[in-house]
Amino acid sequence: MIDKKEVLNRFLNYISIDTQSNPESNSTPSTDKQWKLANQLATELEEMGMQDVSIDDNAYIMATLPPNITKKVPTIGFISHFDTSPDFNGKNINPQIIEDYDGGDIVLNKEKNIILSSEYFEDLKQYKGQTIITTDGTSLLGADDKAGVTEIMSAMEFLINHPEIKHGTIKIGFTPDEEIGRGAHKFDVEKFGADWAYTMDGSQIGELEYENFNAASAKVTVSGKSVHPGYAKDKMVNSMYIAQDFINSLPRLETPEHTEGRQGFFHLSNINGDVEETVLQYIIRDHDKKHFEARKKVIADLGIEICKQYQSECVKVEVTDQYKNMREKIEPNLHIVELAKKAMEAVNIEPIIKPIRGGTDGSQLSFMGLPCPNIFAGGHNFHGKYEYVPLESMLKATEVIIKIAELNTKK
């Protein structure tokens, strides 16, 4: 039986460490503060008895659990990222623990009247009677993906302490900077040495995913001319108004709040500007490769069109590819999805196989030669103050890892 209290304490320890990544940095990891947790994880792995523990110059952590059988079976891996999103406050996390959740609203912050509503966030209701870990309304929680890190660490410790559970060679990896699209950029697949792996980075209990968005980012720089407003007639060019034209020219219903399933979108994630210059940050997402390429062309062509309208080179659009849909790499290896499905069923979880409306390290790793579907880590409402994770979901994810390892020996 997995120790519930140990899993909880491990998770609380990890989220107490600020590991937000920074998209403006060119270093790896993108923030020095990620090293604190990275070094701690490497030390913990050595202390629990993992072999070949390494942490490289870019904070990528790898370790091996040797087999306890003589039969030759595939080497499998489990991967999570330890950075947290830069999109919302990730400092001074003060988690709340709600035991025996009653199915109703949860007050996150009474003073600021911040409520985690079970009517608005309907998934909450399915966890009635469980232990829910939430924020205090002032930060994100960090379950994305410290829940995944916790589950992998807990599963490895359990397997070490229970040699009666037979398993082959297991590799684990922890990465920085996944939240800014660089988690797999410097991952050494050859050194990792697994035949395939699973990222523990999904959301609700039961999720099993091998499709994800094709993804790109777009930086739109709008140039204006700033002069004294009292003498601005026919001279001032306000970049913010031009930026507004750009924003309004993209299809309003093709945004995250109006799309679902495999539907793609344009997402304006940040605006920073004044009269002289405004910078728009977009992310572009679509499951369909042709639609994805068309979206990139739409946003590039719009920049050209607005320049024509204003008869100046006032808009510059820079589009950068981030990751691809891993489906084409997983489909020839669907037995690895089937193994995860059987493991879930064996621990009384109904698998939910669906496309990811996001991305994971697994999408990039699959194109680097390491097929890597995604398994639930248990959290909900990532990247904001309404983030929460049921402790029981983390325990079940830990059980799934252990069961995958066990079932792999019976192939």
Contact between 106 and 134 (Cβ < 8 Å): yes
Half-sphere exposure of 290 (CA within 13 A, CB side): 0
User: Which residue in 83, 145, 209, 361 is the catalytic one?
Assistant: 83
Structure tokens that stand for 5 in this block: 């209290």
Q: Is 389 exposed, middle or buried (0-12, 13-18, 19+ CB in 10 A)?
A: buried
Tokens of 109: 């912050």
Tell me the two tokens of residue 153.
């660490």
- For 347, the 3-state DSSP assignment is coil
Rounded to an integer, what distance in angstroms lies between the CA atom of residue 387 and that of residue 137? Answer: 9
Q: Has 83 been annotated as catalytic?
A: yes
Cα distances (Å, whole numbers) of residue 333 to 79, 96, 328, 369, 372: 18, 41, 10, 12, 10
- List of residues 6+ apart from 119 with CB closer than 8 A: 105
Question: Tell me, what DSSP letter sits at residue 124?
Answer: G
- Look up residue 108 and give its two tokens: 């996150």
Could you tell me how many residues make up the chain? 411
Cα separation, 382 vs 267, in Å, equals: 16
- Structure tokens of 41? 């994880």
**Pairing outcome for strands 61-65 and 51-55:** antiparallel
Helix (H, G, I), strand (E, B) or coil at 29: coil
Q: Which of 145, 177, 178, 201 is catalytic?
A: 178
Are 329 and 371 within 8 A, CB to CB? yes
143-161 and 4-15 helices, crossing angle to 10°? 140
DSSP state letter for 84: B
Written as six digits, the tokens of 25 are 């940095």
Catalytic residue positions, numbered: 83, 178
